Amino acid sequence: MKGLLHHSYLIGLLLITACTPKYNYQVFNNVTAQKSGNIIYANEEINVEYDLWGDDLELLVSFTNKTEAPLYLDLSQSALVINGTVVTSYTETEMSTSVATASARSATYINRYGFLSTPSYAKGISSSVTYKSNPIIFLPPKSTYKKVFDYGRVASVYENPNAKLKRSEKQKHLTFSKEGTPYTFRFNLGYAHQKEMQNMTFIDHEFWVESIDIMRSGAFLGRITGQIGNTSSYNYSFPYKKKNAFYLIIPAVKRTN
């Protein structure tokens, strides 16, 4: 789902970029305990793999049940913590649907013209059924469940005089220590072996920004790799794309010397 949304978004992005190229990009490169592009955490019961790539902080998370028994994930016991601020992963919603039924009856008799007649009579009945979303996800044994956690516009542009591109600069690379990083976030989620959610276990995975690449559109998009159908839009190589990074699109301010 994230891939489809991301592909549709990029088509629009390319059209916007072609018309108004005055945009810069900030690519946030994240690290974890692993120094690799794949972000995978595991315990004896569950594997959790993350894909952060996309505009703003959106998480594609794959949960794999390693056990021979079912697991239950509780979205109401899940949150993203950004620089100490909590953003919940689940909001209870109510949905309704209309149900239409009809009842019919018939009777056979001789009408006034002497013919056999069997008219029928129908009555329509319409009702509405309301139900609430369920925060519990059933994860069968030896199976994988994937979900996109979209928190809206929650990431922040890195605002610092050093983050502005000068007229002569096409891109800039800034690095940070774990103690001095401007951006940290944690993903927290609870799961249990019973659907009653007794004796829950919580996963709590931390990320922090190790570096930020600030660049213009050309560097971010990379080289053209092909045309999109018969349109005037193209696919690009996106050289900075990786699972442990995300990006923000920002209007280019007036450049300094």
d(CA 186, CA 192): 20
Question: What's the pTM value of the predicted model, to 2 decimals?
Answer: 0.76
Question: Nearest Cα to 75, choosing from 24, 1, 147, 18?
Answer: 147
Is the pLDDT at 55 greater than 90? The verdict is yes
Give the range with max mean pLDDT: 17-31, 95-109, 147-161: 147-161
Residues ≥6 apart with Cβ < 8 Å to 43: 203
* Amino acid of residue 118: T
Instruction: Return mean pLDDT, the chain.
Output: 83
Take residue 80 and report the two structure tokens written for it.
């993203």
pLDDT tens, position by position, 8-33? 445 455 444 444 457 899 999 987 76
Q: Please state the rounded mean pLDDT for residues 138-153.
A: 96
Residues 6+ apart with CB under 8 A from 164: 214, 253, 256
Gyration radius of the chain over CA positions = 27
- pLDDT, position 20: 46
pLDDT at 16: 43
**What's the pLDDT score for residue 184?**
93
pLDDT of residue 97 exceeding 80, the answer is no
User: If you average pLDDT over residues 200-221, what whole number do you get?
Assistant: 94
Summarised one tens digit per residue, pLDDT across range 104-121 is 665 555 555 555 566 665
Phi, psi of 250 (to 5 degrees): -130, 140
CB distance 26 to 214 below 8 Å: yes
Q: Name beta bridge partners: 224.
A: 236
Mean pLDDT in residue range 167-172:
89
User: Which of 118, 101, 121, 120 is closest to 110 using CA atoms?
Assistant: 118
